[in-house]
Amino acid sequence: MTRKFSILLAVLIAGVSFLCMVQAQTGEKKWKKTITLPKGDVVLDIKGEWNVALTHLRPGGYAPESGKTKITQTGNTFVGIAMTAFSAFRKGKEQIKGELDKSGFKQVQIISGVAGNSDAKGQISEDGNQIIIDDGERFRLILTRK
């Protein structure tokens, strides 16, 4: 009886583990706007105008700022051009650029005309309408789809 119970328990644990693993591997993002790449990967469609909230991370830095950025996207690569002048970003110049993959950002950079380029980390909201890009030292950008 105990042996049967142990075998049944082991089979049950193995089954649940298998189902969890399959769900984790097939779990796709639920973004509202996507692009399907030629190889079949689906990435977030981020092209368009975004409202931007800029926070300076260094103590004694500038006050928070807000403005707009226009993102162009070709496949999984993108560039964001500042539509508003910021203390660290010039109007009409690159502000962010990077590459997307099926789970979010493959890589992203913040490009400042004053402070230079910095590698950053990006997070995308569940619906794909908010992006946080943070280089951990100087800048945090919160982009919200218009």
Q: What is the DSSP string of 127-138?
A: TSSEEEEE-SSS
User: How far is 145 from 127, CA to CA, in rounded Å?
Assistant: 11
Q: How much is the pLDDT for 1?
A: 58
50, 144 Cβ separation under 8 angstroms: yes
Nearest to 129 by CA among 41, 50, 73: 50
Indicate yes or no: pTM above 0.85: no
At 114 the pLDDT is: 80
pLDDT digit string, tens, across residues 79-114: 999 999 999 999 999 999 999 999 999 999 999 988
Per-residue model confidence (pLDDT) at position 65: 95
Q: How much is the average pLDDT of 58-75?
A: 92
Please write the tens of the pLDDT for every residue from 4-59: 544 544 444 544 444 444 334 345 578 989 999 999 999 999 999 999 999 999 88
Question: Which CATH number describes the domain made up of 36-145?
Answer: 2.40.128.120
Residues linked to residue 7 through DSSP beta bridges, in sequence order: none
